[in-house]
Structure 1
Amino acid sequence: SVGRYISGFLLVCLIPWLLNLRVPLSKMLSLRSQLRATNQLDNFMMNHQNPNFLISELICIVCYKAQYFGQISLGTPEQNFTVVFDTGSADLWVPSFYCVSQACGKQIHSLFAPTSSSNIFHSSHVHKLTKVIYILKLNLNQSICHANFGESVYEPGSSFVMAKFDGVLGLSYPTLSKDLGLPVFDNMMNQNKVDQPVFSFYLSTNASNGFGGELLLGGVDEELFVPPINWVPVTLKGYWQIKIDEVKLQGTTTFCRSHSCQAIVDTGTSLISGPTVEIQILQQLIGASPTSIGEYVVNCTRISSLPVVSLVLNGVEYFLTAETYVKRVKICISGFQATDVSSSVGHMWILGDVFLSQVYSIYDRGQDRVGFAQFSDKVKRSV
Structure 2
Amino acid sequence: AQYYGVVSVGTPPQRFTVVFDTGSSNFWVPSAYCISEACRVHQKFKSFLSDSYEHGGEAFSLQYGTGQLLGIAGKDTLQISNISIRGQDFGESVFEPGTTFALAHFDGVLGLGYPSLAVGNALPVFDSIMNQQLVEEPVFSFYLKRGDDTENGGELILGGIDHSRYKGSIHWVPVTEKSYWQIHLNNIKIQGRVAFCSHGCEAIVDSGTSLITGPSSQIRRLQEYIGASPSHTGEFLVDCRRLSSLPHISFTIGHHEYKLTAEQYVVKSTEDQTFCMSGFQSLDITTRTGPLWILGDVFMSAFYCIFDRGNDRVGFAKAV
Shared fold, TM over 0.5: yes
| Structure 2 CA distance for aligned equivalents of residues 214 and 123 of structure 1 | 32
| Structure 2 CA distance for aligned equivalents of residues 176 and 127 of structure 1 | 14
| Structure 1 CA distance for aligned equivalents of residues 17 and 108 of structure 2 | 7
| Structure 2 CA distance for aligned equivalents of residues 348 and 312 of structure 1 | 15
Question: What residue number does 2:312 align with?
Answer: 368
Cα offset, 1:125, TM superposition: 2.4
Question: What residue number does 1:132 align with?
Answer: 72
Cα offset, 1:126, TM superposition: 2.6
Q: Does 1:347 align with 2:291?
A: yes
SS state at 1:324 partner: helix
Partners of 2:83 and 2:134 within 8 A in 1: no
Gapped regions of structure 1 (runs ≥ 5): 1-65
Q: Under a length normalisation based on structure 2, what TM-score does the superposition of the two structures give? A: 0.92
Question: What residue number does 2:65 align with?
Answer: none
Cα offset, 1:102, TM superposition: 1.7
| Structure 1 CA distance for aligned equivalents of residues 286 and 197 of structure 2 | 16
| Structure 1 CA distance for aligned equivalents of residues 169 and 104 of structure 2 | 37
Partners of 1:150 and 1:180 within 8 A in 2: no
Q: Does 1:284 align with 2:224?
A: yes
| Structure 1 CA distance for aligned equivalents of residues 156 and 193 of structure 2 | 35
Question: What residue number does 1:187 align with?
Answer: 128
Amino acid at match of 1:133: A
Question: What residue number does 2:179 align with?
Answer: 238
| Structure 1 CA distance for aligned equivalents of residues 48 and 174 of structure 2 | 44
Q: Does 1:203 align with 2:144?
A: yes
Partners of 2:175 and 2:312 within 8 A in 1: yes
Question: What residue number does 1:112 align with?
Answer: 45
Q: CA RMSD, aligned part only?
A: 1.5
Q: Does 1:98 align with 2:42?
A: no
Q: Which moved more, 1:296-305 or 1:270-279?
A: 296-305
Partners of 1:89 and 1:171 within 8 A in 2: yes
Partners of 2:72 and 2:94 within 8 A in 1: no
Cα offset, 1:128, TM superposition: 6.2
1:237-276 equivalences in 2 (<5 Å): 237-257=178-198, 259-276=199-216
| Structure 1 CA distance for aligned equivalents of residues 72 and 239 of structure 2 | 48
Question: What residue number does 1:178 align with?
Answer: 119
Structure 1 residues 337 and 127, CA, compared in 2 at 3 Å: closer, same or farther?
A: same
Q: 2:247 aligns with which of 307, 329, 338?
A: 307
Q: 1:123 aligns with which of 46, 53, 56?
A: 56
Q: How many residues align?
A: 308
Partners of 2:14 and 2:45 within 8 A in 1: yes
Cα offset, 1:160, TM superposition: 2.0
| Structure 2 CA distance for aligned equivalents of residues 147 and 111 of structure 1 | 17
Q: Which runs of 4+ in 1 moved over 6 A?
A: none
1:11-160 equivalences in 2 (<5 Å): 66-105=1-40, 108-127=41-60, 131-140=71-80, 141=82, 143-160=84-101
Partners of 1:92 and 1:149 within 8 A in 2: yes
Cα offset, 1:288, TM superposition: 1.1
Q: Does 1:296 align with 2:236?
A: yes
Partners of 1:203 and 1:213 within 8 A in 2: yes
Question: What residue number does 2:156 align with?
Answer: 215
Report which of the two has the higher share of helix. Answer: 1
Gapped regions of structure 2 (runs ≥ 5): 63-69
| Structure 1 CA distance for aligned equivalents of residues 127 and 50 of structure 2 | 23
| Structure 2 CA distance for aligned equivalents of residues 368 and 236 of structure 1 | 9
| Structure 2 CA distance for aligned equivalents of residues 209 and 123 of structure 1 | 36
| Structure 1 CA distance for aligned equivalents of residues 124 and 140 of structure 2 | 13
Partners of 1:148 and 1:180 within 8 A in 2: no
| Structure 1 CA distance for aligned equivalents of residues 102 and 51 of structure 2 | 29
Cα offset, 1:119, TM superposition: 1.0
Question: What residue number does 2:67 align with?
Answer: none
SS state at 1:164 partner: coil
Cα offset, 1:222, TM superposition: 1.5
Deviations 1:236-269 (A, max 9, x none): 0000000111100011010122x11100000111
Partners of 2:77 and 2:84 within 8 A in 1: no
| Structure 1 CA distance for aligned equivalents of residues 83 and 265 of structure 2 | 40
SS state at 2:210 partner: coil
Cα offset, 1:194, TM superposition: 1.1
Partners of 1:325 and 1:335 within 8 A in 2: yes
| Structure 2 CA distance for aligned equivalents of residues 128 and 300 of structure 1 | 42
Cα offset, 1:281, TM superposition: 0.8
Amino acid at match of 1:173: Y
